[in-house]
Amino acid sequence: MIKPHGSDELNPLFVYDSEKRKALLVEAEKLPSLLLNSAAAANAVMLGGGYFNPLTGYMNLADSMSVAEKMHTVDGLFFPVPIVNLTNEAGVEAGSRIALRDPNVEGNPVLAIMDVDAVEDVSDEQIAFMSQKIFSTDDEKHPGVSTFTALGKTLLSGPIQVLSFSYFQADFPDTFRTAVDIRNEIAEHGWEKVVAFQTRNPMHRAHEELCRMAMEQLNADGVLIHMLLGKLKPGDIPADVRDASIRKMVEVYFPPNTVMVTGYGFDMLYAGPREAVLHAVFRQNCGCTHLIVGRDHAGVGDYYGGFDAQTIFDKEVPKGSLELEIFAADHTAYSKKLNKVVMMRDVPDHSKEDFVLLSGTAVREMLGKGIAPPAEFSRPEVAKILSDYYQSLDQ
pLDDT (0 to 100) of residue 236: 80
Distance of CA 223 to the CA centre of its chain: 16
pLDDT (0 to 100) of residue 358: 82
User: Burial, 204: exposed, middle or buried (Cβ in 10 Å; 0-12, 13-18, 19+)?
Assistant: buried
> 301 to each of 150, 272, 304, 305, 340, how far by Cα in Å?
20, 10, 8, 10, 28
CA distance 57 to 43: 9
- Within 10 angstroms of residue 140's Cβ, the number of other Cβ atoms is 11
Strand partners, 222: 194
pLDDT (0 to 100) of residue 300: 92
The candidate with the shortest Cα–Cα distance to 262, out of 181, 330, 326, is 181
pLDDT (0 to 100) of residue 395: 63
pLDDT (0 to 100) of residue 213: 95
- Secondary structure of 319-347 as H, E, C letters: CCCCCCEEEECCCEEEECCCCEEEEHHHC
CB burial readout 349-386, b (16+ within 10 A) else e: ebeeebbbebeeeebbebbbeeebbeebbbbeebbbbb
Q: What is the pTM of this model?
A: 0.95
pLDDT (0 to 100) of residue 198: 95
CA distance 353 to 1: 44
CA distance 136 to 374: 36
User: Burial, 7: exposed, middle or buried (Cβ in 10 Å; 0-12, 13-18, 19+)?
Assistant: exposed
At 315 the three-state DSSP class reads helix
Strand pairing of 57-58 and 118-121? Answer: unpaired
pLDDT (0 to 100) of residue 232: 80
Q: Which CATH code, of 3.10.400.10, 3.40.50.720, 3.30.420.40, 3.40.50.2300, is assigned to 18-169?
A: 3.10.400.10
pLDDT (0 to 100) of residue 364: 81
Q: Which CATH code, of 3.40.50.620, 3.30.70.20, 3.40.50.10800, 3.30.930.10, is assigned to 174-393?
A: 3.40.50.620
- Left, alpha or beta for 65 (phi > 0: left; psi -120 to 50: alpha)? alpha
Annotated domain spans of the chain: 18-169, 174-393
Name residues whose C-beta falls within 8 Å of residue 328's C-beta, 6 or more positions apart in sequence: 293, 307, 310
What does the pLDDT profile of the chain (395 residues) look like in tens digits? Answer: 999 999 999 999 999 999 999 999 999 999 999 999 999 999 999 999 999 999 999 999 999 999 999 999 999 999 999 999 999 998 999 999 999 999 999 999 999 999 999 999 999 999 999 999 999 999 999 999 999 999 999 999 999 999 999 999 999 999 999 999 999 999 999 999 999 999 988 898 999 999 999 999 999 999 999 999 998 877 788 889 999 999 999 999 999 999 999 999 999 999 999 999 999 999 999 999 999 999 889 999 999 999 999 999 999 999 999 999 999 999 899 999 999 999 999 999 999 999 998 877 788 888 888 888 998 999 999 999 999 998 888 76
- Phi/psi of residue 95, nearest 5 degrees: 90, -5
- Phi/psi of residue 307, nearest 5 degrees: -125, 20
Which of the residues are catalytic?
200-201
| CB of 287 closer than 8 Å to CB of 309 | no
- Within 10 angstroms of residue 392's Cβ, the number of other Cβ atoms is 10
Tell me the chain's radius of gyration from C-alpha atoms.
Answer: 21
Q: Where are the beta strands (DSSP E) in the chain?
A: 33-35, 57-58, 86-87, 97-101, 110-115, 118-121, 154-162, 194-199, 222-228, 259-264, 290-293, 325-328, 332-335, 340-343, 355-356
| CB of 40 closer than 8 Å to CB of 16 | no
